[in-house]
Amino acid sequence: MYEFITGFMFWLALGVCLIGMAVRTILYFKGLRWNLDRVAYRAYPARGFKGAIRSIYKWILPFGTHGWRKQPFMAVLFFSFHIGAVFVPLFLLAHNLFLKEKLGFSLITINGGVADFLSWLVIITLILIILRRLALPEVRILTNWYDYLIILISAAPFITGLLARYEVGNYSFWLLAHIISGEILLFAIPFTKLSHIFLFFASRAQLGMDYGIKRGGLRGTVMDW
């Protein structure tokens, strides 16, 4: 069982995730049309590139946008969750040993204490996000079972990872559950809202180009819209 899910299933999940997201990213940009989106992407590449970079870095900077500053509680939840969700899968020592075995390279690593803290941070912030969805009418009305399923898929690798880490009950069971839940997450990324892991950068780049070229970016020029 272990050999199967760390062998064939791992490669299948990774392939589906990477190929699926490559296709979605290509289709996203191919779907842009200057006459529909009203942005002359090719006519002003330098201005568009500058706007794209500005849009991305402002949104990945805590409180870097007016939106984050207007909702400080949500901003803290967002960044707390994503810091853990990125750092633990990529930089946990055990994951990098597995990466080295399978792909022949590894990344820098974080120690177990930091990984534990970040994993708990992910779980706590997801609980707070659920409570926020239940408590605020304007958010609750937009939430359905699908949103909770995405939260469950996102949380499962961290919950099972901590249960295996602390050897709660059967270690082998929780280790297999951790690996399987991680692979389910990889499978889900191209087909669900989790695709924002990649498409966030595409959409922010497009919006940044929009604002950099049209919405005030070329104010004072003879550009006619």
Residue appearing with tokens 């990649």 = 198
Per-residue pLDDT, 10: 86
* Other residues' Cβ atoms within 10 Å of the Cβ of residue 179: 22
Q: Is 132 helix (H, G, I), strand (E, B) or coil?
A: helix
What is the Rg, in whole angstroms, of the alpha carbon atoms belonging to the chain?
20
With contact defined as beta carbons under 8 Å apart, do 39 and 223 qualify?
no
Domain 2-213: which topology? Fumarate Reductase Cytochrome B subunit (1.20.950)
Residue 122's pLDDT band, with cuts at 50, 70 and 90, is: very high
Cβ contacts of 41 within 8 Å, gap of 6 or more: 32, 34, 48, 209, 213
pLDDT band, residue 220 (cuts 50/70/90): low
Could you tell me the residue ranges of all domains in the chain? 2-213
* pLDDT tens by residue, 73-106: 888 888 888 888 889 988 888 888 888 887 877 7
Counting Cα atoms < 13 Å in the Cβ hemisphere of 177 gives 19
Neighbour tally for 83: CB within 10 Å:
15
Task: Give the pLDDT confidence score for residue 222 in this predicted structure.
Answer: 47
Per-residue pLDDT reduced to its tens digit, 17-76: 999 999 988 888 777 665 555 566 667 777 778 878 888 888 877 777 777 788 888 888
pLDDT at 19: 94
